[in-house]
Amino acid sequence: EAGVAQSPRYKIIEKRQSVAFWCNPISGHATLYWYQQILGQGPKLLIQFQNNGVVDDSQLPKDRFSAERLKGVDSTLKIQPAKLEDSAVYLCASSLDRRVSPLHFGNGTRLTVT
Amino acid sequence: AQSVSQHNHHVILSEAASLELGCNYSYGGTVNLFWYVQYPGQHLQLLLKYFSGDPLVKGIKGFEAEFIKSKFSFNLRKPSVQWSDTAEYFCAVNEGRDDKIIFGKGTRLHILP
């Protein structure tokens, strides 16, 4: 089966600019996650979707981050405006079932904010 | 708040040595437990998981992990490591009543040939 697709792989922007990341989950996976992984740390959940509804966005900095999953398939994560501390790898993952299925990760987008 | 602790941040071993990576979690109720691995240049992938039943679970590539509820631990083991096991390993926990999966900070394993 095709894996989770993410683009772009790398992005360099200046602080206060905006950026968007795209994710296409595995076909049939209802649950989609965005994680932020800062260097030297484990992935931190930003937002979780079940189909096109938000299940958990408690750790999403909503003043600058937004995400949507139109039609319950692809998803976009946006940062506007970016700060230096947003430099990280942004991982998208999907799973069949919210509770018992393992996560399938994409390769991630490495964001550098200068 | 639920948390996951991985005790070793960086481990260096020679080939054929035995491996044990520690993982402790803070939640006292029903949990689902995972180990994920990220090989150099690749995406995170599942190594093994525990949901219920036998607390000793076996995963891919000869890895196993033991869930010890009284110690809130889920340590990863392999009796004899190979150079190809060089990777970063993440322990993750999901509360039984919650969908959120919390990751530890990871352990970077380097195997000397």
The number of residues in chain B equals: 113
The residue of chain B with its CA nearest to that of A48 is B100
Q: Which of A99, A109, A110 to mutate to test binding with chain B, by most B CBs within 10 Å of its CB?
A: A99
Buried residues in A54-90 as b, exposed as e (16+ CB within 10 A): eebbeebeeeebbbebeeebebebebeebeeebbbbb
A96 by DSSP, 3-state: which? Answer: coil
Give chain A's mean pLDDT.
93
The answer to whether the Cα torsion of A70, A72, A74, A77 is positive or negative is positive
The residue of chain A with its CA nearest to that of B90 is A42
State whether residue B59 sits within 8 Å of chain A by CB.
Answer: no
Of A3, A41, A45, the CB nearest to B105: A41
Asked if the model's pLDDT at residue A100 lies above 90, the reply is no
- Model confidence at A17, in pLDDT bands (50, 70, 90)? very high
Give me the mean pLDDT over the A105-114 stretch: 96
Which position has the token pair 């595995």? A26
- In this structure, are residues B109 and B9 in contact, taking their beta carbons and an 8 Å threshold? no
pLDDT of amino acid B96: 63
Contacts of A100 in chain B (CB under 8 A): 32, 51
pLDDT of amino acid A66: 97
The residue of chain B with its CA nearest to that of A43 is B103
DSSP structure class, residue A102: P
Cβ neighbours of A26 (radius 10 Å)? 17
- Lowest-confidence range among A60-69, A72-81, B17-26, B99-108? B99-108
pLDDT of amino acid B106: 96
The residue of chain B with its CA nearest to that of A31 is B99
Residue B66: C-alpha distances to residues A9, A80, B70, B78, B111 (Å): 36, 43, 12, 11, 22
CB within 8 Å of chain A, chain B residues 10-39: 32, 34, 36
Which position has the token pair 């083991």? B77
Give me the mean pLDDT over the A87-101 stretch: 87
State whether residue B105 sits within 8 Å of chain A by CB.
Answer: yes
To 5 degrees, how large is the angle CA B52–CA B88–CA B18? 75
End-to-end CA distance of chain A: 37
Contacts of A91 in chain B (CB under 8 A): 43-44
Instruction: Kindly give the parts of chain B with pLDDT less than 50.
Output: none
Nearest to B63 by CA among B84, B47, B44, B83: B47
Question: In the structure encoding, which two tokens stand for residue A18, read together?
Answer: 């905006």
Cis preceding-peptide flag for A81 (omega within 30 of 0): yes
Tell me the shortest Cα–Cα distance from B82 to chain A, in angstroms: 24
